[in-house]
């Protein structure tokens, strides 16, 4: 398995500072995007804490398989899947406890989305409305399901495209790290194919650029992932750039 990757983040056109964080932990084939919330500096604190905690947990468990885990493993899941879930839950606990201790950080939280490539497969873990897409043979497929009020309404009420566009609470998420002492983590597993490109992004991209436009950029013949990431961010800014924008691209190639 060989991976090529690139990551970029941008403050956007309307925000004063960037509350997104990203981590390309290439040694572990682990890639993370987090979108902080809470205002002022606390959103940035939460997103940075989430990616750093998860990366450190992966580093510790890679170096010592006897290391004590903060949560019991789910025996119905594979070891590597448990690593993803436990690392995200640990991030949630650290954010929640930090916000409980420091009044300046009260209310902070973050989304998180993760891809972990191992044993020829890919685990996708997430909490919130940051997303993972897979681009395969010219087709873009969303692999995550938003933990958002809008998505709940779509599932319950079969909203029309016009109702979705007019929905007044598009930015309300119903699950995030730091909101509660515990968190439910969604994990999805799939088998990549050679040439697949995985896109991790905050909603500063997915909320500003249509899937068709993202697919068109990723379908460009130029294989340079840095340039594609830059073009995705440029497209979001050209459409208003109302939020911070973060992108990670990973190309899967067989060895």
* Alpha helices (H) along the chain: 42-63, 79-101, 149-157, 161-166, 203-206, 211-218, 225-238
| pLDDT (tens digit per residue) in 33-69 | 999 998 656 999 999 999 999 999 999 999 877 788 9
| pLDDT (tens digit per residue) in 96-141 | 999 999 988 998 999 999 999 999 999 999 999 999 999 999 999 9
DSSP-assigned letter for residue 242: -
Phi, psi of 62 (to 5 degrees): -75, -35
Q: What is the pTM of this model?
A: 0.93
Residue ranges per structural domain of the chain:
2-253
In degrees, to the nearest 5, what angle opens at C-alpha 202 toward C-alphas 197 and 80? 60
Cα 252 to its chain centre, rounded Å, is 18
Superfamily for 2-253?
Answer: PPM-type phosphatase domain (3.60.40.10)
DSSP-assigned letter for residue 69: P
| pLDDT (tens digit per residue) in 142-188 | 999 998 766 666 666 676 677 666 666 667 788 999 999 999 999 99
Distance (Å, whole) CA 17 – CA 2: 35
């Amino acid at each position: 398995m060989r991976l090529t990757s690139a990551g970029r983040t941008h403050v956007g056109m309307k925000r004063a500072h960037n509350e997104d964080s990203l981590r390309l932990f290439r040694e572990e084939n682990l890639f993370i995007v987090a979108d902080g919330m809470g205002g002022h500096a606390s959103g940035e604190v939460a997103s940075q804490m989430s990616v750093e905690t998860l990366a450190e947990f992966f580093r510790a468990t890679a170096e010592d398989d006897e290391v004590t885990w903060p949560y019991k493993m789910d025996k119905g899941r594979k070891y590597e899947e448990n690593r993803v879930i436990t690392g995200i839950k640990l991030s949630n606990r650290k954010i929640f406890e930090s916000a409980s201790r420091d009044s300046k950080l009260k209310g902070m939280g973050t989304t998180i989305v993760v891809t972990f490539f191992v044993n020829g497969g890919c685990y996708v873990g997430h909490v919130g409305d940051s997303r993972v897409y897979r681009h395969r043979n010219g087709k873009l497929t969303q692999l995550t399901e938003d933990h958002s009020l809008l998505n709940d309404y779509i599932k319950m009420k079969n909203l029309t495209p016009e109702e979705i566009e007019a929905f007044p609470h598009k930015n309300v998420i119903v699950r995030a790290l730091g909101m509660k002492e515990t968190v439910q983590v969604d994990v999805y597993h799939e088998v990549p194919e050679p040439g697949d490109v995985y896109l991790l992004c905050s909603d500063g991209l997915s909320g500003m650029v249509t899937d068709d436009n993202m697919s068109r950029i990723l379908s460009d013949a130029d294989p340079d992932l840095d340039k594609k990431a830059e073009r995705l961010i440029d497209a979001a800014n050209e459409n208003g750039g109302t939020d911070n924008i973060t992108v990670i691209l990973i190309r899967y190639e067989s060895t």
